[in-house]
Chain A
């Protein structure tokens, strides 16, 4: 909220400018990626990373309200299947079905979160885990539409070309827009209220914050974006199968968020980029590849308790300490 930002100390303004410049450089770099990496496979990985970044960022958004949405991958699947079915069987334009998928995911999210808003921490996490399993089961059992366990194939694509470049730019734009919207929510009073509920629902309700309203709102927004990500995935990837959305995928999303840094908006972005891309580099190791992921997990979690985003801060502190000690000598 505005006054919250004003409440920070004055040095934050200068930091803001450096941040903007850094983001500018980053975005320029992202724009040039298709020129640096011409291999379609590498571009494919970047495209998937963008999809998972939206998913992880929206998951973190829900988590700021103290709810651990362990059905999140199932919602990704819901968005993907809705978009796939609408564009393939109903014949809608993929561009339209993509956004309908987002709204359907949001609707289902709202529908379940009214009853689920009674549940606290661990119980919410577990019940949403079970709901996710059930949702995926339901998708699987609609075999005529979704192809059951084998999955759905020949989904209409967004672009009529074999090249991956248009997808990359389109998804980059969608990702940036999604992130900006999520960020605006987070730094506004709405985001602060979510964090307030997380810290104490008793205190926050005593000042007039409706716990149910904000918890539902968090899930609605989070599910909208994960549904969008699902739709993007479906209409890019051409085929879908339920196993891409099971609970282990949810757990990996939690890992992206935590390893990147739960307390920071850029946490899930960095976490996804690092943890999705680095293990791919080692995919030649075949069945030994999971050990690379695990090694990264242990390394980060034991060295940087607050996630990768805290590394610059730690470096800065280290640098400052070094400077001050050399001065005092």
Chain B
């Protein structure tokens, strides 16, 4: 078990965005997290990665309690993530986005960095090579020298994934990775996610699009901040409660 979450709760003033969620994530699995708009999925990610502190509850990653740690410390422990909106550094090129995301392994100390020593240059050369490889994986190699902000929406989202991969995560949290993509880009991204998973990275992904459920080993459904069911993708698709949650919310589920 790589991640264990006990009774995670977050109140925003009067609103309980996440309420008492328990989830266990096994090593190497792809876990889908679905739920209608405003269900608390992004908040759940923000809690795990320390962007906002939880009101109550515990988050245990690889046997260590990481509740209340700062986002950069959590990144260092090996949890990578993407954001639903604005997933990148707009004024860097695509390649610079990925290079900037290599902060942890390898890391040069300040003296090496300042004096541009061989150690630093070796590290940077390695980072460049790795970055190009990641861009190949997500299919952005061809636009590597263009500014990130000038890229179409789908590319920006993929770049978000590329950035998250740069920290060499053992757990990857993807917030709506294929929302707003065209079918080609969707296939591309799903392929990249599959390959990442094959390398042994555990993945939790939030998505409205049912298509992506096919690559999940397990799916958890939340609504109003609470876990309502969990099971295999097949079970979830047929579960009446899930259908009600989606239809009841009055939102298009973007099938």
Contact of A206 among B71, B95, B113 (CB under 8 A): B71
Q: Which of B81-114 contact A (CB under 8 A)?
A: 81, 83, 86-93, 95-96, 99-104, 108, 110, 113-114
Q: Which residues of A contact B95 (CB under 8 A)?
A: 7
The answer to whether A2 and B125 touch (CB under 8 A), given A9-B145, A199-B92, is yes
For B245, list chain A residues within 8 Å (CB).
none
Q: Which of A165-173, A185-193, A232-240, A246-254 contacts B (4 or more CB under 8 A)?
A: A185-193
| Interface assignment of A209: CB less than 8 Å from any CB of chain B | yes
B51 CB within 8 Å of chain A:
yes
Q: Contact between A195 and B99 (Cβ–Cβ < 8 Å)?
A: no
Q: Are A207 and B70 in contact (CB under 8 A)?
A: no
Contacts of B75 in A (CB 8 A): 205-208
B31-85 contacts to A (CB < 8 Å)? 49, 51, 70-72, 75-76, 80-81, 83
- Cα A189 to Cα B81 in complex, Å, equals 22
Q: Which residues of B contact A202 (CB under 8 A)?
A: 51, 71, 83, 86
Decide if A100 is an interface residue (CB 8 Å cutoff). Answer: no
Tally of A interface residues using CB under 8 Å: 29
Per the bound structure, the CA–CA distance linking A1 and B107 in Å amounts to 12
Give the contact-size bracket for chain B.
35 or more
Which of B161-169, B178-186, B206-214 interfaces with chain A? B161-169
At the interface, yes or no: B128 with Cβ under 8 Å from chain A?
yes
Specify which chain A residues have a CB less than 8 angstroms from the CB of B102 in the assembled complex.
207
For residue B22, CB closer than 8 A to chain A, the reply is: no
Shortest Cβ distance from A184 into B: residue: B114
Residues of B within 8 A of A195 (CB): 89, 91-92
Cα–Cα, bound, A202→B175 (Å): 14
In the complex, what residue of chain B is closest to A2 when comparing beta carbons? Answer: B124
| Contact of A206 with B49 at beta-carbon distance under 8 Å, contacts A2-B125, A3-B99, A7-B145 already known | yes
Partner of A193, one of B93, B100, B124: B100
- Separation of A200 and B166 alpha carbons in the complex (Å): 17
Q: Given A1-B124, A188-B116 in contact, is the A206-B80 Cβ separation under 8 Å?
A: yes
Which residues of the other chain, A, contact B88 by a CB distance below 8 angstroms?
200, 203
Among residues of B, the one whose C-beta sits closest to the C-beta of A205 is B71
A211 within 8 A of B: yes
Decide if B120 is an interface residue (CB 8 Å cutoff): yes
Q: Is B24 an interface residue (CB 8 A)?
A: no
In the assembly, what is the distance between CA of A195 and CA of B96, in Å?
11
Is B223 an interface residue when CB atoms closer than 8 A count as contact?
no
Q: In the complex, what residues of B have CB within 8 A of residue A199's CB?
A: 89-92
Question: Could you tell me if B96 and A209 are in contact, using CB atoms closer than 8 angstroms?
Answer: no
A200 with B70: CB separation less than 8 A: no
**CB of B153 within 8 A of chain A?**
no
Q: Residue B131 at the A interface, CB < 8 A?
A: yes
B86 near A210 (CB under 8 angstroms)? no
Complex: how many Å from CA A3 to CA B135? 15
Q: Which residues of A contact B116 (CB under 8 A)?
A: 2, 184, 188
> Is the pair B124, A207 in contact by a Cβ cutoff of 8 Å?
no
Shortest Cβ distance from residue A218 to the other chain B in the assembled complex, whole angstroms: 13
- The answer on a CB contact under 8 Å between B103 and A200 is no
Q: Are B89 and A3 in contact (CB under 8 A)?
A: no
**Bound-complex Cα distance A42 to B83 (A):** 56
Q: A2-B116, A7-B128, A196-B100 are in contact. Are A203 and B89 (CB under 8 A)?
A: yes
- A210–B70 CB distance below 8 A: yes
Q: Mask for B123-164, Cβ within 8 A of A = 1, else 0?
A: 011011001000000000000110000000000000000011
Those 8 A-B pairs whose CB atoms lie nearest each other, nearest first: A2-B124, A3-B128, A205-B71, A208-B75, A208-B103, A3-B124, A207-B101, A210-B72
Seed contacts A4-B96, A188-B120, A203-B86; 14 additional CB < 8 Å A-B pairs: A2-B121, A7-B99, A190-B110, A192-B96, A195-B89, A202-B86, A206-B164, A207-B75, A207-B101, A207-B163, A207-B164, A208-B75, A208-B76, A208-B103
On A, residues with C-beta under 8 Å from B are: 1-4, 6-9, 184-185, 188-190, 192-193, 195-196, 199-200, 202-211
Please list the residues of chain B having a beta carbon within 8 angstroms of any beta carbon in chain A. 49, 51, 70-72, 75-76, 80-81, 83, 86-93, 95-96, 99-104, 108, 110, 113-116, 120-121, 124-125, 127-128, 131, 144-145, 163-164, 166-167
Q: List 25 A-B contacts (CB under 8 A).
A: A2-B120, A3-B99, A3-B125, A3-B128, A4-B96, A7-B128, A9-B145, A184-B114, A190-B113, A190-B114, A192-B96, A192-B99, A199-B89, A202-B83, A202-B86, A203-B87, A205-B71, A206-B75, A206-B80, A206-B81, A207-B75, A207-B101, A208-B104, A208-B167, A209-B72
